[in-house]
Structure 1
Amino acid sequence: MENPSQVNPQDDAPDIGALIASRICHDLIGPVGAIVNGMELLELAGGTSGPEQELIAQSAASASARLRFFRIAFGAAGDQAIGGTDIAILLEEVGRDGRMQVVWTPEGAQPRNLVKLAFLALLCCETALPRGGRAHVIEEDGAWVVTASGEPVTVDPALWAWLEGASRAAALIPARVQFALLPQAATQMGRRLGGEHDAQGLTLRF
């Protein structure tokens, strides 16, 4: 893949799909969050605690974290910033029940559209780590690098071809839509996607 560099961004047009994703996630986060808060209130009030209640609380918390993650990854993105602490906390919450643990190193608030690219890159890397692994997100002088490693590393060439821009022939299932969205979002932002993979891990740059 080519090394990432600045390219001319495409003219912005309303992204109906992203707006729909934002709306769905927004409308679901509230009720799921209410379940989490309700379980916490029951515990504080001395309500009966057991494995069933713990399962409900853990499942609701996991769903809430995933919805907030998906809202950023698949939803509409602008130039507004997201706090670095908020990002790190969200990734920690997602990682509690996920296969991949993420280390977020960019300091301070970051533009939402760049966080979106990083989250999409993480989702792409996750598909190559069936037994889980560890990922790092690094930003230096405006260049972003997402690395991931684990055992085994199983890369689907047909999916990676979407990131390389070499082929659009392979059909994508909904669970792999990030492979189409990442290069599209990067181009819209005027950034060129680059990366490589081997038996030890994967790297994506933008």
Structure 2
Amino acid sequence: MLAETHPEDDLVALVGSRLCHDLISPLGAIGNGVELLTMTATTLSPELQLITESVAAANARIKFFRLAFGRAGEQRMGRPEVSGLMAELSQGSRVKISWEAEGDYSRQMVKIACLAVLCIEPALPRGGEIVVRRDPADGPGAWTVLGTTARIREEPELWANLDGTPSPVSPAQVQFALLPREAAAAGLTLAWKIDDTTAQITF
């Protein structure tokens, strides 16, 4: 029996969820196979080490994409769960991502924060750090996603999408088109600023 599709369903998010769901299972199987190989190997060869790290990175990225591009739903997520995923995502990456938002939040809010992380990430081409902060005691506009690096890549036309000024985006930049739409759906107002060493998005 086919699942009912409601008019309010976001087809982009549904496609994102489907792709991530279908990719997680085979990646998990590969990871299990690699784990068995490491258990039987007397020494961990450079090739096996590379495969192990690559599978772990791919798994973390798919889980992150599922949050950022998938259907939000009603599920709530706490700091330990999201922080753990950000730590996995940071392994072997030039960009360290830290989740410092206290409390638990709707998956919709986590999705918006993840899209903001994806917007800041390309502004740190030489690596750096992205920190997500939110205190439950704070009012509206309390979410801050801050990226720091030695030298920020400024792309003002691309970032103008967050102000509601559409400009063409590539597949690697689709988050700049999705973030303002998701924020508007949640009743949030985006603000951003960039200087030589920092890029910041608040909502």
Q: Does TM-score exceed 0.5, indicating one fold?
A: yes
- Residues 22-74 of structure 1: per-residue CA shift (max 9 Å, x gap): 01101101110121122112222346631111111111111010000000001
- Residues 118-152 of structure 1: per-residue CA shift (max 9 Å, x gap): 11101111111110111111112252111111021
Unaligned runs of 5+ in 2: 1-6
| Contact map agreement 2:89 2:97 (CA 8 A) in 1 | no
Aligned to 1:104: 99
How many residue pairs match? The answer is 193
User: Does residue 39 of the first structure (1) align with residue 1 of the second (2)?
Assistant: no
Aligned to 2:202: 205
Aligned to 1:148: 147
Selected match of 1:193 from 172, 190, 193 = 190
2 CA distance for matches of 1:46 and 1:60?
18
Aligned to 2:76: 81
Of 136-145 and 62-71, the range deviating more from structure 2:
136-145
**Partner amino acid for 2:20?**
C
User: Does residue 160 of the first structure (1) align with residue 159 of the second (2)?
Assistant: yes
1 CA distance for matches of 2:123 and 2:87?
20
CA RMSD of aligned residues (A): 1.5
Of 122-131 and 81-90, the range deviating more from structure 2:
81-90
User: Does residue 182 of the first structure (1) align with residue 179 of the second (2)?
Assistant: yes
| Contact map agreement 1:85 1:108 (CA 8 A) in 2 | no
| Contact map agreement 1:105 1:136 (CA 8 A) in 2 | yes
2 CA distance for matches of 1:198 and 1:48?
47
2 CA distance for matches of 1:99 and 1:164?
28
Identity %: 45
Aligned to 1:92: 87
Aligned to 2:4: none
Tell me the secondary structure at the aligned position of residue 78 of structure 1.
Answer: coil
Aligned to 1:17: 12
Tell me the secondary structure at the aligned position of residue 105 of structure 1.
Answer: strand
Unaligned runs of 5+ in 1: 1-11
